[in-house]
């Protein structure tokens, strides 16, 4: 099950569309859907999580906690809506497209993709681009 939770005044438009898209990503990655929770929050909310659980005193757009077992994906994905909105301006794309990129980024982490090295980051970006183009209706 994919759940969407809001810790601020923000809501995804058409949660079913987003859920269907994420389900397609899971299937395409040969994984099974378990309990997945997306939490949309403020910079401050995510900053506190970053300090408390990861000991990082920085702002970020996403933090993913992976509880997956084998091919069955379980996890909590926290997304700063403020960071995503700012990054959309920086990258000159719509907020919806940047939100899709960040959401699939977290899901790809649950699928086992990393982004610490240059090679890993290149692979991750390629996967993100693939899913964004495959489900282009989200970028409108």
User: What would the 3-class secondary structure string for the chain be?
Assistant: CEEEEECCCCCCCCHHHHHHHHHHHHHHCCCEEEEEEEEEECHHHHHHHHHHHHCCCCCCCEEEEECCECCEEEEEEEEEHHHHHHHHHHHCCCHHHHHHHHHHHHHHHHCCCCCCCHHHHHHHHHHHHHHHHHCHHHHC
**In sequence order, what are the beta bridge partners of 41?**
80
Is residue 56 part of an annotated ligand binding site?
no
Phi/psi-derived region of residue 70, left when phi > 0, alpha when psi is between -120 and 50, beta in every other case: left
Is residue 115 part of an annotated ligand binding site?
yes
Q: Give the annotated binding-site residues.
A: 105, 109, 115
Residues making up the binding site for Zn(2+): 105, 109, 115
């Amino acid at each position: 099950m994919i759940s969407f939770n809001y810790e601020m005044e923000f809501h995804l438009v058409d949660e079913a569309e987003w859920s269907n898209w994420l389900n397609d990503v899971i299937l395409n990655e040969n994984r099974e859907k378990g309990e997945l929770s997306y939490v949309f929050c403020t910079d401050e909310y995510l900053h506190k999580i970053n300090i408390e659980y990861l000991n990082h005193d920085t702002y970020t757009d996403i933090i993913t906690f992976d509880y997956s077992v084998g091919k069955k994906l379980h996890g909590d994905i926290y997304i700063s809506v403020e960071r995503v909105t700012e990054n959309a301006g920086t990258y000159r794309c719509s907020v919806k497209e940047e939100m899709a990129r960040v959401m699939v980024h977290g899901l790809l982490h649950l699928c086992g993709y990393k982004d610490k090295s240059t090679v890993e980051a290149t692979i991750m970006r390629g996967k993100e681009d693939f899913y964004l183009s495959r489900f282009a209706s989200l970028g409108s």
